[in-house]
A and B are shown apart, each in its own frame.
Chain A
Amino acid sequence: MKITKEIIENTAHLARLELEPHEVDLYTQRIDSILQYMDSLNKLNTDGIEPTSHAVPVECVLRDDRAKRSFSVDDSLNNAPGRIGSFFQVPPVIEVEE
């Protein structure tokens, strides 16, 4: 499928990326050619093949339900770009219609 500017813009929105107009053009062209290359995988028949998510097959190790010491509030907020008291501060979550 041909990658269009609209696809790039929609995908960038999903990824919460604003793009400059010249970036939209650049990524449209580049991602189109990369995806064409990736389409080469379709030459392979993979029916009945199990997908691999982890290369080394071991099972999940579990931990016991024991509470341990957490960060101090300052440790957790030290890097915050916005802070109010013990909270992280962010711009309003209500969407502004465009």
Chain B
Amino acid sequence: MENILDMTITELKGLLRKKEISSVELTAFYLERIKKYDGEILSYLRTTEDYALDMARQADTKIAQGEDAPLLGIPFGMKDILCTKGIETTCASKILKGFIPPYNATVIEKLNQAGYVHLGRLNMDEFAMGSSTENSAFQTTKNPWDVSRIPGGSSGGSAAAVAAGLCVASLGTDTGGSIRQPASLCGVVGMKPTYGRVSRFGLIAFASSLDQIGPLSRNVSDCATILNVIAGYDPLDSTAIPQKTPDYAASLGQDIKGLRIGIPREYSIEGIEPDVKKAMAESISLFEKQGATAVDITLPHTEYAVATYYIICTAEASSNLARYDGVKYGFRQTGKDIIDMYKKTRLKGFGKEVKQRIILGTYVLSSGYYDAYYGKASKVRTLIRRDFDEAFKKCDIVVTPVSPTTAFKTGERTEDPLTMYLSDIFTIPVNLAGLPGLSIPCGFDAGGLPIGLQIIGQPLDEARMLQAAYVFETERKVKKIPDKYSAKT
């Protein structure tokens, strides 16, 4: 199984079809690797070994009967934010400890239909609030490239597990960069589709108008394959876009001659590490060599994006998290009356960052402050959207760094939330504008830490982004798994 970690889903399915490997063997291979390596990385909160092997056996039966499905027999890790029927789903929060959803998220239904295998639940920042996975109530995930560093967040478990080869691919969610930033810091491919492209039904909400589900994988082909499965209209999500989705995987391989690549002036901020700058410049010239043209664009309201984002996301979160009150599910701390029970349950059940954001979000919505904060931010959001509308008149895709820096040390920024928030400056505007964004590895810094390139597309134009990313990946071979974890098992 030497090169199994380097194979795409399409290649793995070839092996499965030819019976060179069974899904049970493939699943056991990953479960074994999790046992071996995850004690150090801590990407999984829980594995679901019996469930996984059972799904793998079903997949093998189907393969034996000549059936096919897009992900038949392929082992996945799942961010612990997607409701999965019968499988404990906690959002890495104590308040949901023990919660067994009686229903499946739409993406889980789609993955089931596609024949995937569920290896286990991946760690994250509690309720997806964070950029380092340090806000998990249960454990701090480590970056496989340097275990003294954070993997990024909030989908840190999803990125680390893919980077360390502890699953073929995973799903994450992205509210302000929570797929792209950890993908970048862990050196894997991660995509946040257009808002509304993938159903949010069953995604435990952080900020409803920004949240979106997307894949994390070791190559662009897998990203397209998974997007094919999870994208599409869902009558259970009113914000899902009622449009047919193209075949993303089939569109890979087209050249990018004539593609106009926008380079936003405002993204040359102070605080970008020189190695990140250098990798960016090299990436742009690579695109140019392939026939694309770089275009100078302006996104003038960029400096307001972080403030806008934190008002909107905390406001929505304060409301979305009101349901965790100890009445219907999850954790309850007893109290002398109902209010006392609420307050104690939420005191003990939520972590520090979550509580801070609930208070902030409650404040910006409260009587007398709504117009100054939430109302204002909603208007600035319009300006940020318009910036992109204007920019896309001049270019087809926008290219930026994902993060100004590579992975920082665990504990380095926990006491300084504002600095942590500001590091999401390149990813946040994409969520505010509802656009698709993709992170693809583009090199390493001097310390050997991965750097990610962000490709931002026009609404519903994921296919073109994937084509550009595929060209980039083909031309620029970047190591996907650290040597330490790429050894044969």
Contacts and interface: CB of A to CB of B under 8 A. Distances in A.
Contacts of A16: 322, 325, 339, 342-343, 346
Nearest to B388: A55
Given A15-B359, A34-B417, A56 B327 contact: no
Contacts of B326: 81, 90
B340 A80 contact: no
A10 to B, nearest CB: 9
B23 to A, nearest CB: 30
**Number of contact residues on A: which range applies?**
35 or more
B376 interface: yes
B195 interface: yes
A55 B417 contact: no
Nearest to A89: B327
A61 interface: yes
Interface of B is mostly: helix
Contact of A52 (B235, B306, B336, B378): B378
Nearest to A93: B338
Contacts of A20: 347
**Number of contact residues on B: which range applies?**
35 or more
B344 interface: yes
A57 to B, nearest CB: 9
A38 B331 CA distance: 33
A41 B382 CA distance: 13
A42 B377 CA distance: 10
Interface string A8-42: 10011111111110010011001101110110111
A27 B304 CA distance: 23
A53 interface: yes
Nearest to B349: A17
A75 interface: yes
A34 B418 CA distance: 7
B195 A41 contact: no
Interface stretch (B29-37, B132-140, B238-246): B238-246
A20 to B, nearest CB: 8
Nearest to B325: A16
Contacts of A60: 238
A72 B187 CA distance: 45
B62 interface: no
Contacts, number: 179
Contact of B380 (A41, A79, A82): A41
A14 B360 CA distance: 12
A84 interface: no
Nearest to A43: B304
A95 interface: yes
Contacts of B304: 40-41, 44
B337 A51 contact: no
Interface string A63-98: 100000001000110111110000010111111100
Contacts of A79: 98-100, 102, 328-330
A53 B377 CA distance: 10
Interface stretch (B123-131, B274-282, B307-315): B307-315
Interface string B396-428: 000000000000000000000110010000000
B373 interface: yes
A88 B330 contact: no
Interface string B80-122: 0000000000000000001110100000000000000000000
A18 B325 CA distance: 12
Nearest to A72: B102
Nearest to B242: A61
A93 B337 contact: yes
A96 to B, nearest CB: 5
Nearest to A96: B337
Given A18-B343, A90-B327, A31 B385 contact: no
B366 A41 contact: no
A79 B102 CA distance: 9
B479 interface: no
B366 A80 contact: no
Contacts of B346: 15-18
A41 B327 contact: no
B192 interface: no
Interface stretch (B177-185, B214-222, B350-358): B350-358
23 contacts: A14-B366, A16-B322, A16-B343, A16-B346, A17-B358, A18-B343, A19-B355, A27-B356, A31-B359, A31-B360, A34-B310, A38-B307, A41-B304, A49-B383, A51-B375, A58-B241, A61-B235, A61-B238, A76-B102, A78-B100, A79-B100, A80-B328, A81-B331
Given A46-B379, A49-B383, A61-B240, 18 more contacts: A11-B366, A14-B362, A15-B358, A16-B325, A16-B346, A17-B343, A17-B359, A31-B360, A34-B417, A41-B304, A42-B372, A53-B209, A55-B209, A55-B385, A55-B431, A55-B433, A58-B196, A91-B341
The 9 A-B pairs with the shortest beta carbon distances in the complex, nearest first, are A55-B434, A51-B378, A79-B329, A81-B332, A18-B343, A46-B379, A18-B347, A16-B342, A52-B381
